Amino acid sequence: MSWMIVIVKMEDDRMDVVFVEDYEAMSRRAAEIVAGQIRQKPDSVLGLATGSTPLGLYRLLCRWYAAGRLDFSAVTTFNLDEYIGLSPTHPQSYHAFMQEHLFSKVNLCPARCFLPDGMAGDVLAEAGRYDARIEAAGGIDLQVLGIGRNGHIGFNEPDDHFAVRTHRVHLRDDTIQANARFFPRLADVPREAISVGMGAIMKAQHVVLLASGSDKAEAVHRAVCGVVTPRVPASILQLHRAATVLVDADAAALMPEKWRHAGRIHIG
């Protein structure tokens, strides 16, 4: 006997897609959401991403902290991923990235800023520890996500299934190519990473996906307007109860006009 699972989506389930003009507007909207979360719940648990996309967001958060408008002292953070084989002090590690762009510039407590340990001898055990830490913190209140050109979120690469738990990932060639810009040579880009799985992301109270630039247009279109499939990992967010997509004009270029007026989608 064969089974087919049909997911029926209600109109209300649709993602909250916010169209903004450009990278600056996207970053400001994202910073307002993160700041609002921290003001409303000072001991919030934030899920954080690395890469080019959230740099403007982090810049604004640092600026608002310096201006006395934000207090991170009770906040806990969990990053999505880390390369296997890079130590926290390696300049291309995500530990170093977060240190440079956020942790060293605000009053986050270092003991409450978590990333997977890319140097763990037993990756499986480290993945289990990371999930247990997220659960012990009460889960993620607000998860910030970027999107890969192939539709990945965290390092959940296109696959024939969704990985639920934190796991070891063999990065795909297109991801290695895309990330080569941060490394001296293509050969230096690690081939493996540890990534949070879809379980922690889908259990987050609120998810904000940021997308900017024409190289993200196809991934955004497939994730927001296409079918829910592990071939486009970000498409799972269509089933999240509170997912906001902040998309700038270039990244929204392939979204049909009617999407701009339907459901909860609105123009920022």
Q: How far is the CB of 220 from ligand F6R (least distance, A)?
A: 12
Among all chains, which residue has been given the structure tokens 């071939």? 231
Q: Which residue is nearest to ligand F6R (CB)?
A: 146
Q: Which of 53, 77, 166, 244 binds ligand F6R (CB under 6 A)?
A: 53
152 binds ligand F6R (CB under 6 A): yes
- Exactly one of 150, 156, 167, 240 is catalytic; name it: 150
Q: Distance between CA atoms of 141 and 45, rounded to whole angstroms?
A: 5
Q: How far is the CB of 105 from ligand F6R (least distance, A)?
A: 18
49 binds ligand F6R (CB under 6 A): yes
Closer of 181 and 261 to ligand F6R (Cβ): 181
Q: Return the structure tokens found at 242.
A: 């509170």
Residues 154-183 binding ligand F6R (CB under 6 A) are 154
148 binds ligand F6R (CB under 6 A): yes
Q: Running DSSP on this structure, what letter comes out for residue 156?
A: B
Q: How far is the CB of 148 from ligand F6R (least distance, A)?
A: 4
Q: Beta strand 142-145 with 243-248: parallel, antiparallel or unpaired?
A: unpaired
50 binds ligand F6R (CB under 6 A): yes
CB-based contact 179:186 (threshold 8 Å): no
52 binds ligand F6R (CB under 6 A): yes
What is the end-to-end Cα distance of the chain in Å, rounded?
49
- Exactly one of 95, 101, 152, 221 is catalytic; name it: 152
142: nearest Cα among 11, 16, 35: 35
CB-based contact 175:155 (threshold 8 Å): yes
146 binds ligand F6R (CB under 6 A): yes
Residues 68-97 binding ligand F6R (CB under 6 A) are 80-81
97: nearest Cα among 111, 109, 80: 80
- Would residue 218 show up in a list of annotated catalytic residues for this protein? no
CB-based contact 206:37 (threshold 8 Å): yes
Q: Return the structure tokens found at 219.
A: 């991934």
Site residues (CB under 6 A) for ligand F6R?
A: 49-53, 80-81, 146-148, 152-154
Residues annotated as catalytic (active site), given as ranges: 81, 150, 152, 157
